[in-house]
């Protein structure tokens, strides 16, 4: 993975649960079949109601209808991102859709663990609530080395909490691949 993540941002609100990230009716696709697994990208974040998101007028979908990949590489949420069931499919769906990172003020513990352990997506934590600071479609750059989020649209920068070994685990492809690579198993 690159030391910098750049792309458009998708802004959602607080308490985005796993059923909003990937609604239960879309859990029918095989994770092992490449043709079917791409549907997780198509339906990623399709359950977020407009009232709970920071989306601009027009209710922009995360993944356009009849497409499988999103133009948004970074998701910004508020507190308790990924709450709800312990669905591993949630961070997986975001990864399949092409997202590389989520930035939130806090995560449900199970979502955070699934994101890292599965090697799906980097869960950054922000020092402040960024939902009001960004608009869906803003261009951003995450400088992983310096733990900084730069809003290239507005020119403002925001500190992120240090990740420690989280990036190494995600880059390795998950906790088991990380452990193998480092002679732990």
Q: How many domains does the chain have?
A: 1
In this prediction, residue 92 has a pLDDT band, given cuts at 50, 70 and 90, of very high
Instruction: Look at the block and give the residue holding tokens 């199970």.
Output: 110
| Residue 2 scores a pLDDT above 80 | no
Count other C-beta atoms under 10 Å from residue 30's C-beta: 10
The CATH number of whichever domain residue 120 belongs to comes to 3.20.19.10
The whole-angstrom separation of Cα 81 and Cα 124 is 11
What pLDDT digit, counting tens, does each position of 28-50 carry?
A: 999 999 999 999 999 999 887 76
Residue of 55 and 9 predicted with greater confidence: 9
Judge whether 69 and 91 are in contact, CB under 8 Å: no
Note down the domain range covering 82: 4-181
| Residue 59 scores a pLDDT above 90 | no
| Mean per-residue pLDDT, 47-76 | 79
pTM assigned to the model = 0.92
* Element housing 141 (H / E): strand 139-143
Residue of 87 and 27 predicted with greater confidence: 27
Helix axes 89-96, 34-42, angle to 10 degrees: 90
CA distances from 71 to 37, 42, 56, 75 (A): 18, 12, 16, 11
| Residue 55 scores a pLDDT above 60 | no
Backbone angles phi, psi at 25, to 5 degrees: -65, -10
């Amino acid at each position: 993975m690159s030391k910098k993540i750049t792309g458009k941002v998708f802004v959602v609100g607080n308490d985005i649960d796993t059923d909003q990230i990937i609604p239960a009716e879309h859990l029918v696709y095989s994770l092992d079949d490449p043709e079917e697994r791409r549907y997780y990208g198509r339906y990623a974040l399709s359950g977020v109601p407009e009232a709970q998101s920071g989306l601009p007028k027009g209710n922009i979908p995360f993944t356009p209808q009849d497409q499988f990949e999103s133009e948004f590489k970074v998701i910004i949420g508020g507190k308790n991102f990924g709450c709800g069931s312990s669905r591993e499919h949630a961070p997986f769906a975001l990864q399949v859709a092409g997202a590389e990172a989520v930035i939130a003020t806090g995560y449900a513990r199970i979502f955070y663990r699934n994101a890292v352990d599965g090697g799906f997506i980097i869960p950054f934590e922000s020092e402040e609530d960024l939902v009001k600071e960004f608009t869906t479609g803003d261009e951003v750059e995450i400088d992983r080395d310096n733990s900084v989020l730069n809003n290239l649209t507005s020119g403002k920068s925001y500190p992120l909490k240090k990740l420690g070994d989280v990036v190494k685990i995600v880059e390795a492809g998950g906790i088991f691949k990380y452990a193998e690579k480092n002679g732990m198993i």
